Structure 1
Amino acid sequence: MPAATDLPLLCPVCSDPLGFTNPTEAGPARLACPSRHSFDAARQGYFNLLVGRGTPFEADSAAMVESRFNFLAAGHYRPLADALAAAVVPCLSPQEPAVLDSGTGTGQYLRVLLDTAAARGCKPAAVGLDISKFALRRAARLNPDAVTLVWDVWRRLPLADNAVDAVTVVFAPRNAAEFSRVLRPGGRLMVVTPRKGHLAGLAAVAGMLAIEEGKDHRLAEAMAGHFDLDESINIDIPLALTRAEAADLAFMGPAGHHLDRAAIYGNLQEQLEPIRAEALFRLHIFRPKGSGAA
């Protein structure tokens, strides 16, 4: 159970506040509201708040999650995680700091953020959301100091208004209205997207999806009703990969929903090791409209 138990979580059934019930030998940790709606933690530590119809969106499979966890655990994208953490930590309030990682996946970006904050004397409350139970099994184990929730970001988020200092979104859907609602005045939304040319050489061989034209323009349009862009930071990461690592990289993303990892690995057999590629990212830092510049 996270050390911070005062997160302003809301019941997905009635919108009353959710609070923690201490785990006992007789049962798991539990989130419960005054109206007696309750949600037991899974064995791995996450909570599933999706009720009713669940979600129509396709979650990442166990195999995709394994590839992502292995690739990120090897440190290939650590410069991106460090850049994200460096942008978030200065935004955290000195009193009751809090962050939402929307689309937390396996939780590795959030882990770096929390460790970076702790090294600077800050221990924020943290919430990680994702629709993949397979990903959250790993995220909850990696981040026992965060609240890890199965949730669909296109629904109203199970957080009170003005709940967090920062929202981070790394290669995940973006609900601008809800992010604006849960951010505190002066908070920031951090969105990471791939840039044109990202993994271009590898993508052509492995069958990965190409980066769409006009991606930044569409992001700006989607955010425009609720956010203004403060800053964009480019992050370039040269990669030297084994075939297995390259297959993990290709399979852990959108291509994993329509390609088999074995087929991807087969496509790479004629490639000499190390397989070189360049990851090209952009970190977009948004502020809520009307909040003024930092």
Structure 2
Amino acid sequence: MNRDVVAYLRCPVCRETLEPGESRTLRCPRGHSFDLARQGYADLSAGRSPHTGDTAEMVAARAEFLAAGHYAAISTALAEAAAGATGLAVDVGGGTGQHLAVVLDQHPELRGLVVDASKPALRRAARAHDRAGAVRADAWGRLPLADHDTAVLLDVFAPRNGAEFHRVLRADGRLLVVTPEPDHLAELVAGLDLLSVDPAKEERLAAGLEPHFALTSRRSLRWTMRLDRAEVATVVGMGPSAWHRAPGTIDLPTPLDVTAAVRLDEFRPR
């Protein structure tokens, strides 16, 4: 793992600093040790992660869909919003690290870290960029990061732990949250009876972040994706609907024009 990134990590047991040790480990001064997987990520969950995250099939679908450029507008918007930041950029629930890699490409002064619960995702994220690292941790728990030491925190369709985000962000840091608009993937939701965006989602977002953050900007992103049959199966397979629908049950006339509609909100710590 990139040594510059390790410097930002903290032991999930005692909160001390971590250093690379022998035999592919990270160790703290109190002797707590954490193995580095062969692919390069560290498991810093300390046995407290209550779930395993996305499956290998879901991660493969996400990697394929993102590599095709269908969500490139999200990566570009995040990179623009991170302009001028220096230090550490953390992507919570960052999956394969695709969005973070674009941010790092645009800003050489940043180092990056993907935090996710999925081991298949972390195997890819650990190799997403040479200035990035990847750790396994629960987004709803305490992140293995120092207090007020993170410059940019990315949250793309991921859990939002307002209190913990506030703890790790610097006073001048920024939180960039991407959420789906109500008509995101509308053609697929209607045609395949997929899970739709919860109408109370915005209220929950505000309730979770309001005590800790102030909204500084809001930007809507909309574009049309022309998807063939395989790409329709891929976008369904990478999201929450993958838990409820098998790829073989997807039957829509293709190619199909599908709406992509998301919102990028930028917050600053209160």
Bucket of the pairwise TM-score, normalised by the shorter protein: over 0.9
Q: Per-residue deviation at 1:58?
A: 4.8
The question of 1:73 aligning with 2:67 is answered yes
Report % sequence identity. 44
Q: Per-residue deviation at 1:288?
A: 0.7
Look up the SS of the partner of 1:173 in the other structure.
coil
Structure 2 segments unaligned to the other structure (5+ residues): none
How many residue pairs get aligned? The number is 270
Q: Per-residue deviation at 1:88?
A: 1.2
Question: 1:1-294 alignment to 2 at 5 Å?
Answer: 1-5=1-5, 7-21=7-21, 27-28=23-24, 30-52=25-47, 54-90=48-84, 92-93=85-86, 97-118=87-108, 122=109, 124-264=110-250, 267-268=251-252, 271=253, 273-289=254-270
Aligned partners of 1:69 and 1:6: how far apart in 2?
25
Q: Per-residue deviation at 1:156?
A: 1.0
Q: Per-residue deviation at 1:64?
A: 0.6
Contact 1:45 1:140 in 2 (8 A): yes
Contact 1:236 1:278 in 2 (8 A): yes
2:140 maps to amino acid: W
Look up the SS of the partner of 2:83 in the other structure.
helix
Q: Per-residue deviation at 1:134?
A: 0.7
CA RMSD of aligned residues (A): 1.5
Contact 1:5 1:20 in 2 (8 A): no
TM-score, with normalisation over the residues of structure 1?
A: 0.88
1:283 maps to amino acid: L
1:70 maps to amino acid: E
TM-score, with normalisation over the residues of structure 2?
A: 0.95
Q: Per-residue deviation at 1:57?
A: 2.9
Aligned partners of 1:156 and 1:278: how far apart in 2?
36
Structure 1 segments unaligned to the other structure (5+ residues): 290-294
Query: Which one is further off, 158-167 or 7-16?
Result: 7-16
Contact 1:111 1:143 in 2 (8 A): yes
Aligned partners of 1:129 and 1:143: how far apart in 2?
14
Query: Which one is further off, 198-207 or 176-185?
Result: 198-207
Contact 1:203 1:250 in 2 (8 A): no
Look up the SS of the partner of 1:205 in the other structure.
helix
**Cα 1:139–1:167 shift into 2, 3 Å:** same
Aligned partners of 2:161 and 2:141: how far apart in 1?
9
Q: Per-residue deviation at 1:280?
A: 0.2
2:60 maps to amino acid: E
Contact 1:164 1:184 in 2 (8 A): yes
Query: Which one is further off, 185-194 or 140-149?
Result: 140-149
Contact 2:126 2:132 in 1 (8 A): yes
Contact 1:9 1:18 in 2 (8 A): yes
